[in-house]
Structure 1
Amino acid sequence: MHPTSSRLRALALTSSLLLTAHAPWLQASEGGVSSWPMGIELYGMGILPPPGTYAQVFVGNYLADSLRDDAGRRTARIDLRVTSVVPRFVWVTEQQVLGAQLGFHALLPLNDIRLNIQNGPHDHKRGIGDAHLGPVLGFHHSDKFHSALGVDFVLPSGGEYDKNDLINLGNHYYTVQAVYAMTYTDPQGFNADVRLMHDYNFENRATHYQSGRELHADYSLGWGVGNDWVIGVGGHAYQQISDDKCSVTDCAAAAQVQASDGHRGRSFSIGPAVQFSSKQGWSLSAKWQDESAVRNRAEGQTYWLKFTSAL
């Protein structure tokens, strides 16, 4: 693999908060959303690049038209649109820890959220979402097989929060996300990636609501067709693995959680994906993914663009 191409295809271990809409009428993991934008990562998500400083810009557009309940039935027709621009900076140090590269990353998303409920209210907000930051260790097992281990901290920095508003720019609670990612890459052959994540969500002090723990994975499969192109598919798998909770006895949500088996969410997505890595020091990837098997969450489709460059 060309050193520059490897460097650019590598930068995808941890990423951004692109979807942080909070809507009281949604279900599962308070507001029906998670700190992680499901399926955002693409090829090379388990490779940490050589020491240096890197910049990425993610552009995402999520469109949802329905809300699904415990049984997958549509409970409401909606028009939810979340557009995000997210700058992310990564610093890979010269330091070695346990035989791995040590790196750090930080990002702060800019979100535009529009929500209309059929025969109901609507809302629109634009501003800063919740920040992500954390350390990462990158392991290089061979020229083609790589892995990475990290912890992400999600900070409730998403502007002014009002529990009575239909949507908010941030979730208003802390999340700790454990991450393990693996990549097998071949510029002239098979490519496979998976990023496994476990989220622990702390209580939202404004609502006394605590979203359950979440287990999810981004994945991609592709084929290197030469000339620095990879073409294939990608998406996500998501399952909430513990119940939502409400810590006060008069919380209206508490009865709803108990009545619906903890409001545990679930979803799956797949769609086409493509990536180009130039020898001049940048890369561009694009994907579209459609959600299915959705429970207790909004159901829709997502478009992603990601631009990466060494600084």
Structure 2
Amino acid sequence: MKMLKKTKYIALFTLISTQVYAVENGVVAFPVGVHSVLNGLTTQPGENRVYNYTAFASANRINDSDGNKLPVKFKAQIAIEALRLDHGWETRLADFTLSSGIVATMLNTSITVGNQESNKFGMGNFTIKPIIFGLVNESGTLHQVFSPLDLVIPTGSYDKDRLANPGFHYYSWQPSYGYTWFPSTNIEVSGTVSAAINSKNKETDYKSGATVHLEQMIGYSISPTIQLGLQGYYYDQLSDDKLDGQVFLDGNRSRAAAIGPQIRYSPKPGVAMALKYQRDVIAENQSQGGKLWFQFSFPF
């Protein structure tokens, strides 16, 4: 009975069901998996910096709360292009540097559930990063970033009756902490801890539960410009989903983990690009598949 309800729910609420981008219907508002490249470094005072993220995600199954495949035809393919612009302020707060940023996204989504198929290309949601605190120790071996006020706003293309939606229709507060530690010249250990606390989707009366995310990377530089690494993430939903103010099903809590290789190329200081792949090894109450990322950043 629970499985039948879950299958009906997938078709009813018609939201994208891959853990790439948005927890309504197993979709997480935080872009889990993005943080694996020099997580603790931030924009310097007086500097402007661009970050570009390109991701291709695919999944051909959706799982129940035990991680078992649901008996429904499912396929998702999503291409994401995200552009982030940061500005470093000249003002400092004690030992902290200060910066701000904004992220804009475009998505091309293709979703099939049962006999329903939907495709949509459009603007995703904007993320506003009002204040970012940066801190580095005297030796330069430990860099830290605190971003307490990140807010995703529902500016993306959304229709509650459409299966594929580039945007999701609720606000999401996403505080985060990131670090990068260089224990030696050739070794990098970077990680990010973050959360997503979501408002209610007023179109569907659905409120997604809060999630916490851990992203981690360990890399070894085989030359001054090339680094090989292993990276991945884990996230867990801490509170229940609610529909019309009531707990939905058994809470519909999602949980996921992925791991994969990464290669980073840094042609000069301050410039970096990375190619990485993440394969889901845990997927509960959500889709299961993989993601390919290409990222780069440079000052201007």
Taking structure 1 as the reference length, the TM-score comes to: 0.85
Q: Is the 8 A contact 2:14 2:161 kept in 1?
A: no
Instruction: Tell me, in whole angstroms, the C-alpha distance in 2 between the residues paired with 1:90 and 1:26.
Output: 30
2:190 is matched with 193
Superimposed CA distance per residue, residues 168-209 of structure 1 (whole angstroms, 9 cap, x where no aligned partner): 121110000110111113673221111001111001111111
1:1-311 matched pairs, under 5 angstroms: 23-24=14-15, 26=17, 29-51=23-45, 52-75=47-70, 76-117=72-113, 119-134=114-129, 135-141=131-137, 142-150=139-147, 151-159=149-157, 161-185=158-182, 188-247=185-244, 254=246, 257=248, 259-260=249-250, 262-279=251-268, 282-311=271-300
- Structure 2 runs not aligned, ≥5 long: 1-12
Amino acid at match of 1:90: D
Q: CA RMSD in A?
A: 1.9
Which letter maps to 1:65?
N
More off after superposition, 106-115 vs 91-100: 91-100
Other-structure match for 2:8: none
Q: Using the alignment, how far apart are the partners of 2:83 and 2:33 within structure 1?
A: 18
Percent sequence identity over aligned pairs? 24
Q: Following the alignment from structure 1 to structure 2, what is the Cα–Cα distance between the partners of residues 272 and 195?
A: 17
Give 3-state SS (helix, strand or coil) of 1:226's partner.
coil
Residue deviations 1:50-108 (CA, integer Å, cap 9, x gap): 22001121110011110010111101342201101111101111111242000011011
| Whole-angstrom distance in 1 between the partners of 2:211 and 2:94 | 28
Is the CA contact (8 Å cut-off) linking 1:243 and 1:264 kept in structure 2?
A: yes
Q: Distance in 2 between matches of 1:27 and 1:304?
A: 15
How far did 1:300 drift? 0.6
Give the 3-state SS of the residue equivalent to 1:172 in structure 2: coil
Q: Helix, strand or coil: the match of 1:74?
A: coil
Post-superposition offset of 1:268: 0.3
Q: How high is the TM-score relative to the length of structure 2?
A: 0.88
CA distance, structure 2, for counterparts of residue 91 and residue 25 of structure 1: 32
| DSSP 3-state at the match of 2:119 | strand
Inter-partner Cα distance in structure 1 for 2:152 and 2:56: 21
CA contact (8 A) 2:16 2:164 kept: no
Matched residue pairs, number? 280
> Partner amino acid for 2:53?
F
Deviation at 1:49, TM superposition (A): 3.4
Moved more, 285-294 or 42-51: 42-51
C-alpha distance in 1 between matches for 2:189 and 2:204: 41
Unaligned runs of 5+ in 1: 1-21, 249-253
The answer to whether the Cα contact below 8 Å between 2:43 and 2:86 also exists between their aligned partners in 1 is no
Q: Cα gap change, 1:27/1:103 in structure 2, threshold over 3 Å: closer, same or farther?
A: closer
Distance 1:163 1:271, change over 3 A: same
Contact 1:187 1:228 in 2 (8 A): no
C-alpha displacement at 1:167, in angstroms?
Answer: 2.0
Maintained 8 Å contact 1:106/1:133: yes
Instruction: Check whether the contact 2:77–2:111 (CA below 8 A) recurs between aligned residues.
Output: yes
C-alpha change, 1:156 and 1:271, in structure 2 (3 Å) is same
Could you tell me which amino acid in structure 2 is paired with residue 178 of structure 1? P
> Aligned residue for 1:7?
none
